[in-house]
Chain A
Amino acid sequence: MRYGMSEVAVVGVGQTAFTRACGVSIKELCFEAFREALEDAENLQPQDMDGSIICSAPEYDKQRSPAGAIAEYLGLNPKPTFYAEAICASSTTGVRIAYGLIKSGLHDLVAVIGFQKMSELSSTEVQERMGRGADIMWESPFGLSMPAGYALFARAHMQKYGTTEEQLAKIKVKSGKYSVLNHKAIFQREVSLEEILNSRVIAAPLKFYDCCSNADGASCIILASAEKARKITDTPVWIRGLGSASDSLSMANKANLTGLNCAVEAARQAYKMAGIEPKDVDVAEVHDCFTIAELMAYENLGFCKPGEGGKLIEECQTYIDGDIPVNIDGGLLGKGHPIGATGGSQVRTIVLELRGDAGKLQVKGAEIGLVHNIGGVGLYGNVIIFSR
């Protein structure tokens, strides 16, 4: 066997379209993703699940304790349900917890449902919450937003390695090229390099098209024990490695401003557990909430050396036919970023790629896939490695 023993597999995946305003309730949004995942898992029924983990960022919800409301609506009572939160990394944190629950023998079939309905709040309410995403005592009082946080990384990366705004823009060009082929993506238009470079400044050097957009959406990943998985499907996708790490919330306390230390550490753990190296990865989904975030991910995951991310995109090595295809579904920049649903959407894409079910976005012969999902400005990092 090429990898260590795996005892947990993904047996079903589902995702709603990611949209600006879904026009339905959070329960209905989750139902759509759950129903699709059940169908994908050879028509499992809600009562086959023996537990569920509901993932979102609670500050966007009106419903208190959404796990209860959603589990009821999805027909998951009386099986246990609970809530997992790590902002934008919530649903891969849910997958990690599900892995532990299954591996321990407590459960053998768990649904991880991630969602966010960002249109539930007015844009002023969203901006107010954004202000409290930084350290509220020492950093929020200066007016720190997510784009500004990543812009501080972008400037430092440019200074240290000579990375250019044009290289960052090329990441968005790639994203647009693939998101138009993904009917579940919010962004259904290709954008030219000029349009990206001339878009309005949000937090210099990051411009409008360097940033992903808020969205409504839900995702569902059904995980099973080996025994159960083999009974359910002929095409299980196995979890081979998991890594998880954290870094300081404060911008000032980040030891590294040209990469995300939480991603480097999570990747190290995941590669070690899977017994593989970065060059063995055939397809990756990385957390490109901003163009600079994807560029740093190339380096932090070892797809290139630190400082060579700009060169990697210039040479188109992260395109579908490159050395390491990245975000072939459009990524967050193309799909939109419904916070709690994003990690599950990344897992779904990798599962489809490894099963050969990715259609127009299929990376030929992909056997090993990787998901990199980050919460906050490099605050929480999850890396998960999958194979057929």
Chain B
Amino acid sequence: MGFEKFGKISYTSETKVKDFVNYLEKGKIMATQCRMCKKIYFPPRMDCSNCLSVDRMNWREINNEWTLITYTTAHFAPTGFEDDTPYMLAIAESAEGLKLFARLSKDVSEDQVKLGMKLKLTPVKLPNGKIVYEFKPLGE
């Protein structure tokens, strides 16, 4: 239990990385890094597919500077997200080479969005007591 707080609709409650949500509630966006081989994982994981170590990860804050690679505006949504449309979904790459899929903030209008723009990842508290992260333009 614990991870079900992540996202407007979550499908996962039990995971070894449930502490991610606790950090997120404190405003921290955390990756994991393998103590054995140093590989960084974001989204975080406790099992290292690189050196096969288990539970030998340290939590560490991410370098929160991202570049927009691609995005779409969804006008049509899976069950449970219908009220949110239209919303923007994006993939961005961080300064340390991590890649992430998340929404682009509704504070940004579609005509302001340009591929290559700089973004930061920000925790967002949702009305139903849940929490998630979204991309916002860097510098806001």
Q: Does A associate with B in a complex?
A: yes
Residues of chain A at the chain B interface (Cβ within 8 Å): 124, 127-128, 130-132, 136-145, 147-148, 151-156, 159, 200-206, 250-253, 257
* Extra A-B contacts (8), CB below 8 Å, given A131-B78, A141-B9, A142-B101: A127-B78, A128-B78, A138-B101, A152-B91, A159-B70, A202-B75, A252-B99, A252-B101
Instruction: Report the interface size class on chain B.
Output: 35 or more
Q: B27 near A: Cβ within 8 Å?
A: no
In B59-78, the 8 Å CB interface with A consists of 69-78
Interface presence of B53 (CB below 8 A)? no
- The contact of A152 among B72, B110, B132, by CB within 8 Å, is B72
Query: Is B50 interfacial (CB 8 A cutoff)?
Result: no
Residue numbers in B under 8 Å from A137 (CB-CB): 3, 11-12, 15, 43
User: B43 contacts which chain A residues (CB < 8 A)?
Assistant: 137-138
Contact across chains for A251 and B101 when beta carbons are under 8 A apart: yes
* Chain B residues packing against A (C-beta within 8 Å): 3, 6-12, 15, 43, 69-81, 84, 87, 89, 91, 99-103, 110, 115, 132
B120 CB → nearest A CB, Å? 17
Q: How far is the CB of A197 from chain B (nearest CB, A)?
A: 16
Q: Which of B74, B78, B115 sits near A159, CB closer than 8 Å?
A: B115
Interface-centre pick from B72, B79, B102 (highest chain A CB count, 10 A): B72
Give the secondary structure class of A's interface: mixed
Nearest CB on A from B79, distance (A): 4
CA distance A142 to B73 in the complex (A): 12
* B101 partner residues in chain A, CB cutoff 8 A: 138-139, 142, 144, 250-252
Q: Which 8 A-B pairs have the closest CB atoms?
A: A141-B7, A131-B78, A143-B81, A151-B72, A136-B11, A128-B79, A156-B70, A204-B73
Q: Is the CB of B89 within 8 A of A148?
A: yes
Known: A137-B11, A139-B101. A145 touches B79 (CB 8 A): no
Residues of B within 8 A of A203 (CB): 72-76
Choose among A127, A136, A142 the residue that contacts B102 (Cβ–Cβ < 8 A). A142
Q: Is the CB of A141 within 8 A of B78?
A: no
Cβ-defined contact, A155 with B115, below 8 A: yes
Check if A152 sits within 8 Å of B79, measured CB to CB: no
Most buried by B among A124, A148, A153: A148
